[in-house]
Amino acid sequence: MSVPRRASTYPGYAGYSAASDRQYRFRRAVVLVVVLSLVAVIAGCLGRSGPGPAPLRVAWVFSPASNTVTIRVASRAGTSSQQVLAHSQLAVSANGRRWSAAGGTVRVPVPAGGRTSLLVKLTGPQPLTRTLTVSAPRPPQIVASGANSGRWLVWTSVPLQAGPAQVLCGNDAVTLVAPTQVAVSESAAACQAPLQLTAQNGERSTVPVTIPALPEAARPEAKVRTVSVAKLYCFANPAGRAIYITIDDGWTPSNEVLDLMHHNYLPITAFLITKAAAEHLSYWKDFLAAGGTIGDHTVSHPYLTKLSLAKATAQWAQARTSLGRWFGQTPVMGRPPYGAFNHTVEVAAARAGLTSLAGWSATMSGNRIQTWNGKPLSPGEIVILHWVPGLGHQLTVLLAAIRALHLNPTPLTLDSFAGIAPQQKALNGD
């Protein structure tokens, strides 16, 4: 008896069919796709076994009040970066010293008025090294001081902000009268005390000051003024390579001059004709706020040597009164128009309440500086300019020459004339 055979599904056999072959190939392809998919899934899981590197950045903030730098390593990557920083140590080195803390924040002290190089290192899962250079501003310092209308004025190296109320030696009140001017009320007794200064940028310092006793003639109980002659000086104290900038008349105020004063902390004395000043009162208030000083240049700019004593006195006195009423600071210095003076002019100035008269030793004409002896500017010179169109450019040229000679613009005060011989001969000018 014969047994029936199972039909073969392979080619070459009698039972082979095309349909069977197609099923075989399809199943094999399905198996291959499944295997490849599993391999891809496993590889992807292995690739995500750990977090990728988080982008880190170093940021720092300087605090002028404490002269410290806060250095922080941070990232915007969220939770993963927080985990990196949580397992990291931040260290900062400078000048042989080292500060460190866990995490990403360290506070480091830096010296005022200098540049400090900081080496920042983050150790941990994601190391980081950076070098930072921090420039700390200089603390405020006193650059000049002098008496003015019963007060002791102190000029500072940088603009100040109003700080806590201060009273020196028990009764000498301290007032911020301009960004770079501090006034201390004088009393019958001399005073030595520490003065606290806070710059507008937050830098602080405590500097010693000596406030002389109020002159006897200026004390409230004095009934007779002892000054009988206001002497004229063409030079002032040369200490510290000081040079003194003055500008006359006031007919054409210049905003460029105000900008130079603000940017360079530049002390300027303006000798104003009251008729000119009256036309621009708001400007002169801004000038005072920028650290300027106003002096008396008479009411109408006459040749005082051609007037009687009474009329010369009126020119000084009326101008001084008006300027004091407008600006709250009554001038104690004056400048005679055209530089013309004699004994009568000096007596008239004293009778009007002025203490000293300021001449000059150098002039600025166009872009040319002319000194009294034809030589370069030297310490102690008083330079005269005028409020005319183009003054800003003239002042820029003058400042360049002053810097090249390593001179220091200094406020002109009554104390600037201490130990200086008064002028004996009249000058020509305006």
Cα 326 to Cα 287: distance, rounded to the nearest angstrom: 13
Query: Which residues on adjacent β-strands are paired with residue 94?
Result: 97
CA angle 106, 110, 115 (to 5 degrees): 120
Low-confidence ranges of the chain (pLDDT < 50): 1, 3, 6-10, 12-14, 49, 217-227
Question: Which CATH superfamily, name and number, covers 227-430?
Answer: Glycoside hydrolase/deacetylase (3.20.20.370)
Cβ(166)–Cβ(195) below 8 Å: yes
Tabulate helix, strand, coil % of the chain (nearest 5).
30, 30, 40
Which amino acid, one-letter code, is at 252?
Answer: T
Which class does domain 56-135 fall in?
mainly beta
b/e per residue, 14-28, with b = 16+ CB within 10 A? eeeeeeeeeeeeeee
Chain segment 198-256, per-residue pLDDT in tens: 888 888 888 888 877 765 544 444 444 444 789 999 999 999 999 999 999 999 999 99
- State whether the Cα torsion 307-311-312-318 is positive or negative: negative
Q: Say which amino acid occupies 109.
A: P
Same fold, 56-135 and 227-430: no
pLDDT of residue 15: 52
Q: Name the token pair of 102.
A: 């866990």
Indicate the domain borders of the chain.
1-38, 56-135, 142-226, 227-430
Which residues are within 8 A (CB) of 360 and not within 5 positions of it... i.e. 6 or more apart? 234, 246, 339, 382, 383, 384, 427, 429
Q: Is 256 in a helix, a strand, or coil?
A: helix
Cα–Cα distances in angstroms (integers) from residue 377 to residues 241, 330, 383, 411, 420, in the given order: 11, 31, 9, 17, 18
**Residue 172 near residue 237, CB atoms below 8 Å:** no
